[in-house]
Chains A and B, each alone.
Chain A
């Protein structure tokens, strides 16, 4: 399933490439990222959140897998979170990823393009970015706590960061 709302009994879920998962309470959503970007949106008061594993910057009109693209993921997350938190929910975002894993300096840097597209989509939706950890040449494992809104970023050979 590409998008889903996690049942409250489920404590943890892996968000694979192109997936989007929303959950409430203490549920933890995690993803391993290279050039992809993990976008988390949190509603602090209602303690609900969602994590999308964005693979590509633009959907080019394809909306069947909304979590896969930056321009469709943010809108779908807002729709799902509004369903969980109600119409008065206020959103705040964090994101991580967008690395250039193979270290090339070529003209097509998909990681950077993903980051720029995520920033643009969040800006367009009027959602404030509270923290981010993006770019570089190394992978990241992110764990997002839907209750607290904390995002833990792990990188090989580095201490963990909490966003």
Chain B
């Protein structure tokens, strides 16, 4: 497990604890939304050199279907829900309880089902993080996008890139009846968000 590597760093270990708790809440929300079909688990909390981040996450020039939520307010950050097209369609098909024609462009209803999934996940994460760090986090409206994964991640990393040549990424994986799925949630905090998270955990009883 890659998260074991991250845990060798004490700072990453405390962030791992926090994200594990938030992922637990998000998994419960996802389980309810998909009628018990899908659960989440925290894969890794890592610091990665900026130049290598996309290759390390293996999303370089992959065409992905994504839902992006930005965190509004003083702390900031971004959450990106990523699928390859086939897996995104499969999720939407199961949510809408119908066959999805993968040769057609995404319909408004299909986009809506996927963005709502991002919204549910994002709100579950933000509610958990708000409770854990005692700061209000407000997610933006979810944004549906189909593009190179690296292009989207790049924009989410901009605030971290101003402060450092290393970036912090939290990656969550999905499972269907115990089987790993090729979906991810990438959470990209800003430097201020990271400081708030670390401060909250250090001050916890």
Does residue A34 face the partner (Cβ distance < 8 Å to B)? yes
Does residue A28 face the partner (Cβ distance < 8 Å to B)? no
Interface residues of A in 28-62 (CB under 8 A from B): 30, 32-36, 53, 55-56
In the complex where A32-B61, A34-B150 touch, is A18 in contact with B55 (Cβ < 8 A)?
no
Chain A contacts for B161, CB-based, 8 A: 17-18, 55-56, 68
Min Cβ gap A67→B in Å is 8
Min Cβ gap B78→A in Å is 8
Task: Kindly identify which residue among B143, B150, B158 contacts A32, using a CB–CB cutoff of 8 Å.
Answer: B150
Q: How many residues of B sit at the interface, in one of the four size bands?
A: 20 to 34
Dominant secondary structure of chain A at its interface with chain B: loop
- Whether B143 and A34, one on each chain, are in contact in the complex, defined by CB atoms closer than 8 angstroms, is no
In the complex where A55-B161, A68-B161 touch, is A19 in contact with B147 (Cβ < 8 A)?
no
| Per-position 1/0 for B139-179, Cβ under 8 A of A | 00001011110111111011001100100000000000000
Q: Which chain B residue lies CB-closest to A15?
A: B51
- Whether A101 and B53, one on each chain, are in contact in the complex, defined by CB atoms closer than 8 angstroms, is no
Task: Kindly identify which residue among A16, A111, A138 contacts B54, using a CB–CB cutoff of 8 Å.
Answer: A16
Number of A-B pairs, beta carbon distance below 8 Å: 90
Chain B contacts for A12, CB-based, 8 A: none
Task: Kindly identify which residue among A19, A56, A101, A140 contacts B155, using a CB–CB cutoff of 8 Å.
Answer: A101
Most chain B beta carbons < 10 A, residue from A14, A30, A101: A101
Does residue B110 face the partner (Cβ distance < 8 Å to A)? no
In the bound complex, CA of A29 to CA of B174 (Å): 34
Chain A contacts for B61, CB-based, 8 A: 30, 32, 141
- Whether B51 and A17, one on each chain, are in contact in the complex, defined by CB atoms closer than 8 angstroms, is yes
- Whether B60 and A14, one on each chain, are in contact in the complex, defined by CB atoms closer than 8 angstroms, is yes
Given A32-B151, A32-B154, output 7 extra A-B contacts at Cβ < 8 Å. Answer: A14-B55, A55-B154, A99-B151, A101-B155, A110-B155, A139-B150, A140-B148
